[in-house]
Amino acid sequence: MTEIFENYEIKNDTTFKIGGRIEKAAFPKTINEFIELLQSKEYDMVFGGCSNVLFSSGCIDKKIIITKNINNYEINDNQIKVECGTKGPLVSKYAKDNALSGFEFLIGFPGTFGGMVTMNASAHNQSISDCFISARIYDLKNDKIVTLYKKDMQFNYRHSIISEGEYIVLDAIFELKKGNINDIEELMNRNIQFRKQHQPSLSFGNAGSIFKNPANDSAGRLLDLCNMKGQEEGGAKIYEKHANFIINYNNATSTDILTLMYKMYSKVREKYTIILKPEIKFVKGNIEQENKLWQIIQQENIHQIQK
């Protein structure tokens, strides 16, 4: 049965370990419960593992659904069907145990499949779209369940038709390739070692890459050239090994994070005239300062910025 909480403190549900109190949070345990919540039209936003999102440290006047308890998956020959709240590493290991290749890149991903399909998650020359077959989707506009196939998804870098806001992923089917368990495990271990060497552990709160890579370049490279590594704001710090990560190392607030993001965004814009676009999402609260920072970073008021 769906668990529902009012005035819910969200920070412990996020990988950033930051966030204030949400007006209402619902945790469905089945897809049918999830659909009932969506049909109620009461809720404003849907999240999975809250791994690429920054919630305001203030009061948040939103009603949200978190799907992390909808986490069943099953295998049928080369195909795996996965529910939206299932975490990537769990299915990556399951695929390996069944000698299936294609999900090795998910071994270090803290996110859930609903979000990973939505943003076409990728790493190490593998992506969700490579093995995607279809997904059951809730169509918010028409209040019905539809099936979308790969040709319908408009997959691109960090984008799918789902990310445009009219659809919600319920579950998805992927077709993997038969492989050798030892080879699959070796690739997974290499991916884990790469993440350990270049990206912060989740023991330090973080939300993954802060900005998307601009065309034919790397956000991390540009930020490194701007000498952003190690810069601090309050309890937040730009990671010393990769300039496109911010870690919560000492009880950082959302304002700390957004202030650092603004500095990162501004430095690259001033030095290279390149506009970095945020990869993480921000859920606004009642702190006006950070809402203004986000407005600038999001380029929501371009004329004001160009004055």
158 is catalytic: yes
Distance CA 84, CA 136 (A): 10
What is the DSSP-derived secondary structure letter of residue 273?
A: -
In a 13 Å sphere around the CA of 60, the CA atoms on its Cβ side amount to 27
- To the query of whether residue 203 is one of the catalytic residues in this protein, the response is no
- Choose among 233, 231, 248, 246: nearest CA to 18: 248
Give the torsion through C-alpha atoms of 99, 113, 243, 194, to 10 deg.
-10
Instruction: Give the CA distances from residue 249 to residues 55, 57, 113, 241, in Å, rounded to whole numbers and listed in that order.
Output: 17, 16, 27, 14
Q: Report H helices in the chain.
A: 31-40, 88-97, 113-118, 128-131, 181-198, 219-225, 254-272, 288-297, 302-306
**Rounded to whole angstroms, how far apart are CA atoms 206 and 244?**
11
Q: Is 47 within 8 Å of 277 (Cβ atoms)?
A: no
Task: State how far the alpha carbon of 92 is from the alpha carbons of 70, 75, 108, 135, 242, in Å.
Answer: 17, 12, 9, 18, 25
74 noted as active-site residue:
no
Catalytic residue among 51, 127, 160, 209: 209
User: What is the Cα–Cα distance from 64 to 51, expressed in whole angstroms?
Assistant: 15
How many Å separate Cα 245 from the centre of its chain? 13
> Which one of 158, 160, 233, 254 is the catalytic residue?
158
CA gyration radius, the chain: 19
Catalytic residue among 23, 175, 185, 279: 279
* Pairing of the two strands 167-175 and 79-83: antiparallel
Catalytic residue numbers, as ranges:
158, 209, 279
